[in-house]
């Protein structure tokens, strides 16, 4: 079993829809949770970073962490065609000086007009 599980999609939604992306994990030591966005043929870029259970909002994006269920989510409101990308969840623990992350496989999202 992988440490981090993520539905690969693809997920296709119409413009304006609310999108829910999810990851589950098995390692209870994970404390830090991130979402990266990756456009086609580009490197990933950080979208959201949360340290604790609960919600964090940034514009149209909301990251949610439920440590008791080992489950994290990313919600996108009023989705736009420019949101079409692959979304990768990533997580880590107290790593000393190294920013070692464990990534999910990514969910490909397509927002259609």
Q: Which residues bind another protein (CB under 8 A)?
A: 4, 6, 8, 32, 34, 36, 41-46, 49, 51, 88, 90, 92, 94-101, 103-106
d(CA 113, CA 76): 16
d(CA 94, CA 13): 37
d(CA 80, CA 43): 20
d(CA 112, CA 10): 13
Of 99 and 113, which has the nearer Cβ to another protein?
Answer: 99
d(CA 95, CA 74): 24
Nearest approach in angstroms of CB 83 to another protein is: 19
Nearest approach in angstroms of CB 20 to another protein is: 19
Q: Which residues pair with 56 in a beta bridge?
A: 63
Nearest approach in angstroms of CB 82 to another protein is: 19
Of 51 and 71, which has the nearer Cβ to another protein?
Answer: 51
Of 33 and 111, which has the nearer Cβ to another protein?
Answer: 33
């Amino acid at each position: 079993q992988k440490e981090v599980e993520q539905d690969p999609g693809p997920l296709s939604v119409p413009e304006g829809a609310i999108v829910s992306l999810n990851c589950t994990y098995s390692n209870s030591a994970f404390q830090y949770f991130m979402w990266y966005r990756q456009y086609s043929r580009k490197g990933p870029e950080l979208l959201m970073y949360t340290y604790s259970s609960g919600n964090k909002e940034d514009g149209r994006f909301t990251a949610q962490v439920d440590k008791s269920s080992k489950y994290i989510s990313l919600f996108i409101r009023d989705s736009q065609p420019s949101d079409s990308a692959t979304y990768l969840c990533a997580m880590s623990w107290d790593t000393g000086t190294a920013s070692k992350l464990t990534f999910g496989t990514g969910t490909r999202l397509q927002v259609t007009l």
